[in-house]
Protein backbone atom coordinates (compact mmCIF):
# COMPACT_ATOMS: atom_id res chain seq x y z
CA UNK A 1 0.00 0.00 0.00
CA UNK A 2 2.91 2.39 0.64
CA UNK A 3 2.34 5.60 2.56
CA UNK A 4 -1.27 6.77 2.76
CA UNK A 5 -3.31 9.63 4.17
CA UNK A 6 -5.77 7.35 5.96
CA UNK A 7 -4.39 7.71 9.47
CA UNK A 8 -1.21 8.24 11.45
CA UNK A 9 -2.10 4.86 12.98
CA UNK A 10 -1.17 3.31 9.63
CA UNK A 11 2.45 4.47 9.81
CA UNK A 12 5.20 2.16 10.97
CA UNK A 13 7.63 2.75 13.82
CA UNK A 14 9.85 5.81 13.91
CA UNK A 15 13.59 5.01 14.12
CA UNK A 16 13.89 6.02 17.78
CA UNK A 17 11.06 3.71 18.86
CA UNK A 18 12.42 0.81 16.84
CA UNK A 19 15.90 1.25 18.29
CA UNK A 20 14.50 1.43 21.82
CA UNK A 21 12.67 -1.87 21.35
CA UNK A 22 15.82 -3.52 20.03
CA UNK A 23 17.87 -2.25 22.97
CA UNK A 24 15.22 -3.33 25.48
CA UNK A 25 15.39 -6.82 23.99
CA UNK A 26 19.02 -7.26 25.04
CA UNK A 27 18.64 -10.97 25.91
CA UNK A 28 18.97 -10.33 29.65
CA UNK A 29 16.07 -10.93 31.99
CA UNK A 30 14.26 -7.85 33.33
CA UNK A 31 11.71 -7.68 36.15
CA UNK A 32 8.18 -7.48 34.80
CA UNK A 33 5.08 -5.38 35.46
CA UNK A 34 6.90 -2.03 35.54
CA UNK A 35 9.54 -2.70 38.20
CA UNK A 36 12.39 -2.24 35.71
CA UNK A 37 14.94 0.46 34.92
CA UNK A 38 13.42 1.15 31.47
CA UNK A 39 10.16 2.21 33.13
CA UNK A 40 12.06 4.26 35.69
CA UNK A 41 13.88 6.06 32.87
CA UNK A 42 10.60 6.74 31.07
CA UNK A 43 9.00 8.17 34.22
CA UNK A 44 12.06 10.39 34.74
CA UNK A 45 11.82 11.57 31.13
CA UNK A 46 8.19 12.57 31.68
CA UNK A 47 9.15 14.43 34.86
CA UNK A 48 11.81 16.31 32.90
CA UNK A 49 9.02 17.49 30.58
CA UNK A 50 6.19 18.15 33.06
CA UNK A 51 7.94 18.58 36.42
CA UNK A 52 8.60 16.33 39.37
CA UNK A 53 5.17 16.49 40.99
CA UNK A 54 3.32 14.12 38.65
CA UNK A 55 2.36 10.44 38.51
CA UNK A 56 2.90 8.41 35.32
CA UNK A 57 1.37 5.07 34.28
CA UNK A 58 1.67 3.15 31.00
CA UNK A 59 -0.97 1.18 29.09
CA UNK A 60 -1.10 -0.35 25.63
CA UNK A 61 -3.98 1.53 23.99
CA UNK A 62 -5.66 4.90 23.83
CA UNK A 63 -9.02 3.43 24.82
CA UNK A 64 -7.45 2.08 28.01
CA UNK A 65 -5.69 5.39 28.71
CA UNK A 66 -8.83 7.48 28.36
CA UNK A 67 -11.30 5.24 30.13
CA UNK A 68 -9.02 4.24 33.00
CA UNK A 69 -7.91 7.83 33.60
CA UNK A 70 -11.52 8.97 33.80
CA UNK A 71 -12.45 5.99 35.99
CA UNK A 72 -9.68 6.94 38.44
CA UNK A 73 -11.05 10.49 38.66
CA UNK A 74 -14.73 9.63 39.12
CA UNK A 75 -17.32 7.76 41.13
CA UNK A 76 -20.02 5.66 39.39
CA UNK A 77 -22.75 8.18 40.18
CA UNK A 78 -21.06 11.03 38.33
CA UNK A 79 -21.19 12.55 34.86
CA UNK A 80 -18.53 12.87 32.15
CA UNK A 81 -18.95 15.80 29.77
CA UNK A 82 -17.37 15.61 26.32
CA UNK A 83 -17.74 16.68 22.67
CA UNK A 84 -20.20 14.59 20.64
CA UNK A 85 -17.48 13.83 18.07
CA UNK A 86 -14.85 13.02 20.69
CA UNK A 87 -13.20 9.61 20.80
CA UNK A 88 -14.60 9.24 24.31
CA UNK A 89 -18.14 9.51 22.93
CA UNK A 90 -17.82 8.13 19.40
CA UNK A 91 -14.90 5.72 19.20
CA UNK A 92 -14.43 3.90 22.51
CA UNK A 93 -17.48 1.66 21.99
CA UNK A 94 -19.08 1.21 25.42
CA UNK A 95 -15.77 1.17 27.31
CA UNK A 96 -16.43 4.48 29.15
CA UNK A 97 -19.71 3.24 30.57
CA UNK A 98 -18.44 -0.30 31.28
CA UNK A 99 -15.28 0.84 33.07
CA UNK A 100 -16.16 4.19 34.66
CA UNK A 101 -19.90 3.41 35.15
CA UNK A 102 -20.64 7.13 34.66
CA UNK A 103 -23.23 8.99 32.64
CA UNK A 104 -21.59 10.21 29.42
CA UNK A 105 -23.12 13.56 28.41
CA UNK A 106 -21.99 14.72 24.98
CA UNK A 107 -22.31 18.35 23.91
CA UNK A 108 -23.95 18.47 20.48
CA UNK A 109 -21.94 20.93 18.41
CA UNK A 110 -20.46 20.98 14.92
CA UNK A 111 -17.66 23.28 16.04
CA UNK A 112 -14.34 21.48 16.59
CA UNK A 113 -13.79 22.69 20.17
CA UNK A 114 -15.89 23.00 23.31
CA UNK A 115 -16.41 26.34 24.99
CA UNK A 116 -16.79 27.30 28.63
CA UNK A 117 -20.33 28.43 27.92
CA UNK A 118 -21.34 25.05 26.46
CA UNK A 119 -19.86 23.16 29.40
CA UNK A 120 -21.51 25.47 31.92
CA UNK A 121 -24.90 25.15 30.21
CA UNK A 122 -24.84 21.34 30.27
CA UNK A 123 -23.43 21.11 33.79
CA UNK A 124 -26.11 23.48 35.04
CA UNK A 125 -28.89 21.12 33.90
CA UNK A 126 -28.28 18.95 36.96
CA UNK A 127 -30.07 19.97 40.16
CA UNK A 128 -27.23 18.39 42.13
CA UNK A 129 -29.49 16.19 44.25
CA UNK A 130 -29.38 12.42 44.58
CA UNK A 131 -31.79 11.99 41.62
CA UNK A 132 -29.26 13.50 39.17
CA UNK A 133 -25.75 12.50 38.07
CA UNK A 134 -23.15 14.44 40.03
CA UNK A 135 -20.21 16.50 38.78
CA UNK A 136 -17.43 14.22 37.51
CA UNK A 137 -15.03 14.95 34.67
CA UNK A 138 -14.86 17.22 31.63
CA UNK A 139 -12.75 15.55 28.95
CA UNK A 140 -11.47 17.40 25.89
CA UNK A 141 -9.23 16.26 23.04
CA UNK A 142 -6.10 18.21 22.16
CA UNK A 143 -5.74 18.08 19.24
CA UNK A 144 -9.44 17.58 18.58
CA UNK A 145 -10.93 14.99 16.26
CA UNK A 146 -11.22 17.76 13.65
CA UNK A 147 -7.61 18.84 13.94
CA UNK A 148 -8.23 21.95 16.06
CA UNK A 149 -5.87 22.92 18.86
CA UNK A 150 -6.85 24.32 22.25
CA UNK A 151 -4.50 27.14 23.24
CA UNK A 152 -3.08 27.39 26.78
CA UNK A 153 -5.58 30.16 27.55
CA UNK A 154 -8.50 28.05 26.31
CA UNK A 155 -7.41 25.04 28.37
CA UNK A 156 -6.96 27.21 31.46
CA UNK A 157 -10.41 28.78 31.03
CA UNK A 158 -12.07 25.35 30.70
CA UNK A 159 -10.16 24.00 33.70
CA UNK A 160 -11.06 26.97 35.91
CA UNK A 161 -14.74 26.85 34.95
CA UNK A 162 -14.92 23.07 35.32
CA UNK A 163 -13.29 23.09 38.74
CA UNK A 164 -15.63 25.84 39.88
CA UNK A 165 -18.54 23.52 39.01
CA UNK A 166 -16.95 20.55 40.80
CA UNK A 167 -15.58 18.78 37.71
CA UNK A 168 -12.06 17.46 37.15
CA UNK A 169 -10.44 17.90 33.72
CA UNK A 170 -8.96 15.20 31.51
CA UNK A 171 -7.26 15.66 28.15
CA UNK A 172 -7.32 12.99 25.49
CA UNK A 173 -3.86 13.66 24.11
CA UNK A 174 -3.63 10.95 21.47
CA UNK A 175 -2.08 13.71 19.34
CA UNK A 176 -0.87 15.87 22.22
CA UNK A 177 2.57 16.20 20.60
CA UNK A 178 0.95 17.82 17.56
CA UNK A 179 -0.91 20.27 19.81
CA UNK A 180 2.31 21.28 21.58
CA UNK A 181 4.09 21.67 18.25
CA UNK A 182 1.23 23.79 16.88
CA UNK A 183 1.19 26.08 19.93
CA UNK A 184 4.97 26.25 20.16
CA UNK A 185 4.66 26.34 23.94
CA UNK A 186 5.94 24.55 27.02
CA UNK A 187 3.86 21.33 27.38
CA UNK A 188 3.09 22.34 30.97
CA UNK A 189 1.17 25.37 29.68
CA UNK A 190 -1.34 22.98 28.10
CA UNK A 191 -1.59 20.73 31.16
CA UNK A 192 -0.56 21.18 34.79
CA UNK A 193 0.04 24.94 34.66
CA UNK A 194 -3.44 25.30 33.14
CA UNK A 195 -4.99 23.25 35.97
CA UNK A 196 -5.56 19.98 34.11
CA UNK A 197 -5.99 16.90 36.32
CA UNK A 198 -5.02 14.15 33.88
CA UNK A 199 -3.55 13.67 30.40
CA UNK A 200 -3.59 10.65 28.12
CA UNK A 201 -0.25 11.16 26.36
CA UNK A 202 -0.28 9.46 22.97
CA UNK A 203 2.60 7.43 21.63
CA UNK A 204 1.07 5.28 18.90
CA UNK A 205 0.13 8.15 16.58
CA UNK A 206 3.59 9.68 16.94
CA UNK A 207 5.60 6.68 15.81
CA UNK A 208 5.45 4.06 18.59
CA UNK A 209 4.37 0.48 17.95
CA UNK A 210 1.90 0.68 20.84
CA UNK A 211 1.55 2.43 24.14
CA UNK A 212 0.05 5.47 25.81
CA UNK A 213 1.02 7.17 29.06
CA UNK A 214 -1.49 8.40 31.64
CA UNK A 215 -0.23 11.37 33.64
CA UNK A 216 -1.94 12.80 36.71
CA UNK A 217 -1.23 16.34 37.94
CA UNK A 218 -1.88 17.67 41.47
CA UNK A 219 -2.28 21.35 40.54
CA UNK A 220 -5.87 20.92 39.42
CA UNK A 221 -7.08 19.18 42.57
CA UNK A 222 -4.67 17.61 45.06
CA UNK A 223 -7.34 15.37 46.59
CA UNK A 224 -8.38 14.10 43.14
CA UNK A 225 -4.70 13.49 42.32
CA UNK A 226 -4.14 11.40 45.45
CA UNK A 227 -7.29 9.36 44.85
CA UNK A 228 -6.50 8.81 41.17
CA UNK A 229 -2.90 7.77 41.70
CA UNK A 230 -4.00 5.32 44.40
CA UNK A 231 -6.80 3.74 42.38
CA UNK A 232 -5.37 3.78 38.85
CA UNK A 233 -3.10 0.79 39.39
CA UNK A 234 -6.05 -1.28 40.58
CA UNK A 235 -8.20 -0.16 37.63
CA UNK A 236 -5.36 -1.03 35.25
CA UNK A 237 -4.78 -4.49 36.69
CA UNK A 238 -8.46 -5.27 37.14
CA UNK A 239 -9.26 -4.52 33.50
CA UNK A 240 -6.34 -6.53 32.14
CA UNK A 241 -4.20 -3.57 31.05
CA UNK A 242 -1.06 -4.12 33.13
CA UNK A 243 1.58 -5.43 30.73
CA UNK A 244 3.94 -8.08 32.06
CA UNK A 245 6.86 -7.26 29.73
CA UNK A 246 6.39 -3.65 30.66
CA UNK A 247 9.77 -2.47 29.42
CA UNK A 248 8.62 -2.75 25.81
CA UNK A 249 5.96 -0.08 26.29
CA UNK A 250 8.12 2.17 28.50
CA UNK A 251 11.47 2.13 26.68
CA UNK A 252 10.21 3.80 23.45
CA UNK A 253 8.70 6.64 25.47
CA UNK A 254 12.02 7.26 27.21
CA UNK A 255 13.83 7.32 23.87
CA UNK A 256 11.31 9.67 22.26
CA UNK A 257 11.27 12.12 25.17
CA UNK A 258 14.99 12.20 25.98
CA UNK A 259 16.17 13.40 22.60
CA UNK A 260 13.14 15.49 21.64
CA UNK A 261 12.09 13.11 18.86
CA UNK A 262 8.44 13.38 19.94
CA UNK A 263 8.50 17.07 19.03
CA UNK A 264 10.55 16.63 15.87
CA UNK A 265 8.11 14.09 14.44
CA UNK A 266 5.04 16.10 15.46
CA UNK A 267 6.38 19.27 13.85
CA UNK A 268 7.11 17.38 10.65
CA UNK A 269 3.60 15.91 10.49
CA UNK A 270 2.11 19.36 11.13
CA UNK A 271 4.30 20.92 8.43
CA UNK A 272 3.20 18.32 5.87
CA UNK A 273 -0.46 18.99 6.72
CA UNK A 274 0.06 22.74 6.35
CA UNK A 275 1.67 22.20 2.94
CA UNK A 276 -1.20 19.95 1.88
CA UNK A 277 -3.81 22.46 3.10
CA UNK A 278 -2.20 25.30 1.13
CA UNK A 279 -2.06 23.17 -1.99
CA UNK A 280 -5.70 22.10 -1.69
CA UNK A 281 -6.87 25.70 -1.38
CA UNK A 282 -4.78 26.65 -4.39
CA UNK A 283 -6.53 23.85 -6.30
CA UNK A 284 -9.88 25.43 -5.39
CA UNK A 285 -10.93 23.05 -2.60
CA UNK A 286 -12.63 24.31 0.56
CA UNK A 287 -11.34 23.36 4.00
CA UNK A 288 -14.13 23.06 6.56
CA UNK A 289 -11.75 23.52 9.50
CA UNK A 290 -8.36 25.25 9.71
CA UNK A 291 -5.44 22.82 9.42
CA UNK A 292 -3.83 23.60 12.78
CA UNK A 293 -2.06 20.29 13.41
CA UNK A 294 -1.51 17.17 11.28
CA UNK A 295 -5.01 16.70 9.86
CA UNK A 296 -6.71 18.33 6.87
CA UNK A 297 -10.50 18.24 6.46
CA UNK A 298 -11.52 19.10 2.91
CA UNK A 299 -14.87 19.09 1.14
CA UNK A 300 -14.75 16.65 -1.77
CA UNK A 301 -17.28 15.06 -4.11
CA UNK A 302 -17.69 11.30 -4.30
CA UNK A 303 -16.00 11.04 -7.74
CA UNK A 304 -13.02 13.06 -6.49
CA UNK A 305 -12.75 10.98 -3.33
CA UNK A 306 -12.99 7.70 -5.26
CA UNK A 307 -10.44 8.91 -7.81
CA UNK A 308 -7.70 9.74 -5.30
CA UNK A 309 -8.27 6.46 -3.46
CA UNK A 310 -7.99 4.55 -6.74
CA UNK A 311 -4.84 6.50 -7.63
CA UNK A 312 -3.07 5.24 -4.51
CA UNK A 313 -3.93 7.93 -1.95
CA UNK A 314 -6.51 6.23 0.29
CA UNK A 315 -8.14 8.33 3.00
CA UNK A 316 -11.32 8.50 5.08
CA UNK A 317 -14.72 10.09 4.81
CA UNK A 318 -15.28 11.81 8.15
CA UNK A 319 -17.98 13.58 10.15
CA UNK A 320 -21.58 14.18 9.14
CA UNK A 321 -22.20 12.66 5.66
CA UNK A 322 -23.89 15.91 4.59
CA UNK A 323 -20.57 17.72 5.00
CA UNK A 324 -18.91 15.69 2.19
CA UNK A 325 -15.71 15.77 4.20
CA UNK A 326 -12.53 13.83 3.56
CA UNK A 327 -9.89 13.56 6.28
CA UNK A 328 -6.27 13.58 5.11
CA UNK A 329 -3.91 12.68 7.94
CA UNK A 330 -0.16 13.27 7.91
CA UNK A 331 2.30 11.34 10.05
CA UNK A 332 5.96 11.35 11.04
CA UNK A 333 6.89 9.60 7.78
CA UNK A 334 4.76 11.64 5.36
CA UNK A 335 7.11 12.96 2.70
CA UNK A 336 6.89 16.10 0.59
CA UNK A 337 6.70 13.78 -2.43
CA UNK A 338 3.55 12.20 -0.99
CA UNK A 339 1.89 15.59 -0.68
CA UNK A 340 3.00 16.69 -4.15
CA UNK A 341 1.73 13.45 -5.66
CA UNK A 342 -1.72 13.82 -4.11
CA UNK A 343 -1.98 17.43 -5.27
CA UNK A 344 -0.94 16.50 -8.81
CA UNK A 345 -3.60 13.79 -8.78
CA UNK A 346 -6.26 16.29 -7.76
Render pLDDT for 282-292 as a digit per residue (tens, 0 to 9). Answer: 999 999 999 99
Q: Are residues 294 and 194 part of one domain?
A: no
Tens of pLDDT, residues 186-210: 999 999 999 999 999 999 999 999 9
In a domain? residue 2? no
Q: Are residues 100 and 136 part of one domain?
A: yes
Residue where a domain stops, chosen among 232, 258, 284: 258
* Residue ranges making up the domain that contains 335: 261-345
Return d(Cα 276, Cα 291) in angstroms, integer: 9
**What local confidence, expressed as pLDDT, does residue 232 receive?**
98
DSSP bridge partners of 201? 173, 213
Q: Are residues 265 and 136 part of one domain?
A: no
* Three-class SS state of 198: strand
User: What are the DSSP E strand ranges found in the chain?
Assistant: 55-59, 78-83, 103-107, 134-141, 168-173, 198-202, 212-216, 295-299, 316-317, 325-329
Residue where a domain stops, chosen among 258, 280, 309: 258
Least confident stretch, 24-28, 118-122, 164-168, 236-240: 24-28
In a domain? residue 336? yes
User: What are the DSSP E strand ranges found in 31-73?
Assistant: 55-59
135 band by pLDDT with thresholds 50, 70 and 90: very high
In a domain? residue 4? no
By the 8 A CB rule, do 161 and 119 touch?
yes
**C-alpha atoms less than 13 angstroms from C-alpha of 22 in its C-beta half-sphere:** 7
Q: Are residues 328 and 194 part of one domain?
A: no
Tens of pLDDT, residues 1-17: 567 899 999 999 999 99
By the 8 A CB rule, do 18 and 265 touch?
no
Using CB atoms within 10 A of its CB, is residue 67 exposed (0-12), middle (13-18) or buried (19+)? buried
In a domain? residue 92? yes
**C-alpha atoms less than 13 angstroms from C-alpha of 111 in its C-beta half-sphere:** 8
**What local confidence, expressed as pLDDT, does residue 263 receive?**
98
**What local confidence, expressed as pLDDT, does residue 46 receive?**
98
Residue where a domain stops, chosen among 239, 258, 277: 258
* Mean pLDDT across the chain: 95
By the 8 A CB rule, do 252 and 203 touch?
yes
Q: Are residues 225 and 132 part of one domain?
A: yes
User: Tell me, what CATH number does 335's domain have?
Assistant: 3.90.1150.10
**Model pTM score:** 0.96
**Strands of 198-202's sheet in order across:** 55-59, 212-216, 198-202, 168-173, 134-141, 78-83, 103-107
Q: What percent of the chain has pLDDT over 70?
A: 99
Structural domain count of the chain:
2
Amino acid sequence: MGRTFRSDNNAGLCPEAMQALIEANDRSHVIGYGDDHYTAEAVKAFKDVFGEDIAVFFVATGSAANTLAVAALTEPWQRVICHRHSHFNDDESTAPERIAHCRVSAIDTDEPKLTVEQIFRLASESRGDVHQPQAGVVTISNTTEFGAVYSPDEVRAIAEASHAMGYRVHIDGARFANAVAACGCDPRNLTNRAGVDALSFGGTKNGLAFGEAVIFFPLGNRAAFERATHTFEFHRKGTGHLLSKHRFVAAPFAAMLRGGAWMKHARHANDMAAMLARGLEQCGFRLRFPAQANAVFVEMSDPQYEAICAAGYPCYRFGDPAWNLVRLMCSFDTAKEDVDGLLRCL
